[in-house]
Amino acid sequence: MKAPPPKPSLKARALRHLARREHSRAELERKLTAQLNADRHADQRRQGDSPNERHSSSRADEAETAEQIRRTLDELAARGLLSDARAAESLLASQGRRFGSRRLKQTLQAKGLDPELVRSTVQQSRTTEYERAQDLWRRRFGQPPADVKEQARQMRFLAGRGFDGDIIRRIVKGALQADTDG
């Protein structure tokens, strides 16, 4: 039986993730931990270890894995290749146009970012939230709702994208007023 090809190093895996897009430290740590655990379990199964043998060595292996990951991420951060602030900016730039502040906040928190960084990024997004919601509404619908059912559908769409209720009402009601005025 042919031996499996060598697995890429931890640093190579981290760099591969970072080459695709910016990641937060916590997000990258989760991904690397999952990959290394899957590799370790596959190696143990390939070697024919019993489930009891796998369990007894797993705690020590997990601690060693966590330490390796921490050291690797520290090195990448020291070199400027890993930055939570850059990950937040990247998310705001890529998704800010399509989503409201509530949705952005939820996404930033899910990435494990520092609460203060989340707060400042969300605050930054709020300065343009009305314009972003209006632009999204215009691209998606482009015309005022014909009836109450359509108005509710448009409002649900914007709410699902994480925009605040007062902004949603201003946009949809504003479209209705512009239609009756024009």
- Other beta carbons less than 10 A from residue 148's beta carbon: 8
Q: How confident is the model at residue 170 (pLDDT cuts 50, 70, 90)?
A: very high
In the chain, what percentage of residues exceed pLDDT 90? Answer: 73
Structural Rg of the chain based on CA atoms: 24
Domain parsing of the chain, residue ranges: 10-78, 84-126, 129-181
Cα separations (Å) of 39 from 44, 57, 61, 82, 149?
9, 14, 12, 24, 52
pLDDT tens profile 135-147: 999 999 999 999 9
Q: Give the single-character DSSP code of 79.
A: T
**What class has domain 129-181?**
mainly alpha
pLDDT recorded at residue 80: 96
Q: What does the alpha-carbon distance between residue 177 and residue 119 come to, in Å, rounded to a whole number?
A: 34
Burial environment of residue 104 by CB neighbours within 10 A (0 to 12, 13 to 18, 19 or more): buried
pTM of the model: 0.80
